[in-house]
Structure formats: C-alpha cells, structure tokens
C-alpha cells in the first residue's frame, strides 16, 4: 500500500481510505470485522466513519459504525497508533436528538464518538455539513479547544461549498484557530462539477487534503451497471441519474483502459483520482472481501497521459 500526507498535518495515510457507512447496514458486524481486518492487513491505516452512520437503516439509531470500529480494533489488538480514525459531527443524534455545529453540541458529541470508538483521541474530526445557523467562528473555536486538549489531532470538513471553506480558513487564520486540514467532497468521474468548479482551487491554494467520498458513484463506476444489465444493490434506487449515453460511452472507454492494464473498471476510476496530487485518499466502501480486493489494486495502476486525457474529456 502506498501512503500520502494528509494535507499539512504531517499525518501519513494510506492512498485509499476505508469508508464504513455500510457497517451495520448492508454489512453486518461479522462481515464488517472481516473487511476491517483484511483492509488493515493490506496496509490501509485510514478509516472514515460518522456519528450518524447509519440512522436511515431500519433499527439503526446511529453510532453503530463507530461501535463496530471500536469493538474491532480492541478485539484484534491493533496498536492504536497504527490507525488513523476519522469521524464526523453535525447530523441528528443523541437522546433527545439534536443536530448542528454549536460549540456546546460539538463538545458533547465528541465524547459520545470517543466512547463508541473506544479511543482517547480522534485523528480527524470533521464537520459533516456546514451549519448556517451557527457562526463559523463558534464552530472553529470548539474544534480548536478539542485540538488543544488532545481529544482531536486535526479537523476537516465535508460537503462545504467553496465559499464556506474559504471563509472557514480565513476565520481560522484571523483568530489563530485550528483550521480545516481536509475536505471530504462528493467527487467522481460522473460527478465532477461540485468539487472542480471552485473547491479544487481552494484546496490547492491552502494545502487542504482531499478525501473524496463516492469515488465509484455508489457502484456505477464498478461496471456492474450496463445498458442492458440491472444490478441488485441497496443503493440501486436513484442510480438512473447516471444512465446517460455519455456515461455508457465513458464506461466503454474505461473497459478498454482496464483491459490494456489487466485491471478493472473500479481500479481505473480510483486511479484517475489518485493521479491528482491534491487528493490524499479516496474513500472506498466494501460489503465483501471481494469488493475490497478489487479496489486495493488501484494504488498500483498508473494511467498514462493519453488515458487520463480521454477520461477527462469524456467525463467533462
């Protein structure tokens, strides 16, 4: 496994990050343990979760993914310093449930995440979405306090707009507060504008590490969806938005590139992202060891200039 710097933190993370939204949802605890162990043995040290994962599933109150991770690393006797654990705060959680990024709420929610993960500190604590009802200075001061007392090593954000990220970085600089070291955007070959329009430039200018989620477009870029083939998946609903002539053509070219390298469509999609030095670690999800193994080989796949250009042009 190859490793990269996480923004300007000095933290080394694996070139692929294991996402865990599926834990306790489409992957039960036993399967989740198997995936975590296989990923760790393959060299993945970076694990991403969120406090709300996965509240939308029947019978899931949220926090289940964090609990599974905490139980796994203790049972597997993994040295804590060998793991880079990232989680997020913002969504509806707690009893009674609350949401948002107020300073008081962040201070409470971090304690809940620490307990579920069974850790004394979180390596990367992220704002899951911006909170327009709370001044960004209040949010950043709460994060800064957590960094100062050692409960959090670094902070990041997810689903921010370019303007929101720029404002947050400016406020941190103005008041000497911990600043967002990472951005977690929705980004893939079939979903480029949201990140590339403005966020990419902000990240390059400020050395913000990028850890994209859904780099495989919820499975569309694995090749299991075809013009004449329906896939069975818990995420199949809503996939029709990707069913365009442009994207079918893109998949055909990805097939060609994959065949030339003895690779898979999944690996081509991830290698395309890894060709960008601003991207620290795309987040991969897996419901099985087979899915995990398919993604792992992407770190060894290097696209040539022509291949990268074809993918850029076809997905523009």
What would the two tokens of residue 104 be?
Answer: 């008081």
The answer to whether residue 273 is domain-embedded is: no
Residue 3, token pair as written in the block: 């490793």
Q: Would you state the pLDDT for residue 107?
A: 98
Residue 60 lies in a domain: yes
Identify whether 97 is part of a domain.
yes
Query: 15-68: per-residue pLDDT in tens?
Result: 999 999 999 999 999 999 999 999 999 999 999 999 999 999 988 999 999 999
Report whether 273 contacts 282 (CB < 8 A).
Answer: yes
Tokens of 222: 């694995």
pTM: 0.96
Q: Look up residue 24 and give its DSSP letter.
A: T
* 176 burial via Cβ count (<10 Å: 0-12, 13-18, 19+): exposed
pLDDT of 95 reads: 86
Which residues lie below 8 Å from residue 187, measured CB to CB, with a gap of 6+? Answer: 194, 195, 196, 210, 212, 213, 214, 215, 273
User: pLDDT digit string (tens) for 213-249?
Assistant: 999 999 999 988 988 776 665 556 678 899 999 999 9
Among residues 18, 12, 10, 39, which one has the least CA distance to residue 270? 18
Residues annotated as catalytic (active site), given as ranges: 53
Summarised one tens digit per residue, pLDDT across range 69-115 is 999 999 999 999 999 999 999 999 988 999 999 999 999 999 999 99
Please report, for the domain that includes residue 146, its CATH number.
3.20.20.100
Backbone angles phi, psi at 52, to 5 degrees: -80, -10
User: Taking 90 as the threshold, does the pLDDT of residue 178 lie above it?
Assistant: yes
Query: Within a domain: residue 231?
Result: no
Print the domain residue range for 102. 3-218+278-302
φ and ψ at residue 87, rounded to 5 degrees: -140, 180
State the total domains in the chain: 1
Q: Is 252 within a domain?
A: no
Position 227 scores a pLDDT of 84
């Amino acid at each position: 496994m190859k490793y990269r710097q996480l923004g300007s933190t000095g933290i080394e993370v694996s070139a692929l990050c294991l996402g865990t939204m599926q834990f306790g949802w489409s992957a039960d605890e036993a399967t989740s343990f198997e995936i975590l162990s296989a990923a760790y043995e393959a060299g993945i040290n970076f694990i991403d979760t969120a406090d709300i994962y996965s509240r939308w599933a029947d019978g899931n109150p949220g926090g289940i993914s964090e609990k599974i991770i905490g139980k796994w690393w203790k049972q597997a006797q993994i040295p804590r310093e060998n793991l880079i654990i990232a989680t997020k705060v913002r969504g509806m959680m707690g009893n009674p449930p609350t949401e948002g990024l107020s300073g008081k709420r962040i201070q409470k929610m971090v304690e809940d995440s620490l307990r579920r993960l069974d850790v004394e500190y979180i390596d990367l604590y992220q704002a899951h979405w911006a909170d327009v009802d709370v001044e960004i200075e209040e949010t950043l001061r709460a994060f800064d306090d957590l960094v100062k007392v050692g409960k959090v090593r670094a902070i990041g954000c997810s689903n921010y707009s370019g303007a929101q990220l720029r404002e947050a970085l400016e406020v941190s600089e103005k008041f000497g507060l911990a600043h967002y070291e990472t951005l977690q955007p929705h980004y893939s070959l079939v979903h480029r504008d949201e990140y590339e329009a403005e966020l990419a430039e902000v990240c390059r200018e400020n050395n913000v590490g990028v850890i994209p989620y859904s780099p495989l477009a919820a499975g569309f870029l694995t090749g299991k969806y075809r013009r004449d083939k329906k896939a069975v998946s818990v995420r199949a609903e809503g996939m029709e938005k990707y069913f365009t002539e442009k994207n079918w053509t893109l998949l055909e070219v990805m097939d060609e590139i994959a065949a030339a390298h003895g690779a898979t469509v999944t690996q081509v999609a991830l290698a395309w992202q890894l060709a960008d030095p601003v991207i620290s670690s795309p987040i991969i999800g897996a419901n099985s060891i087979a899915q995990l193994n398919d993604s792992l080989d992407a770190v060894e796949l290097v696209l040539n200039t022509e291949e990268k250009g074809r993918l850029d042009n076809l997905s523009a």
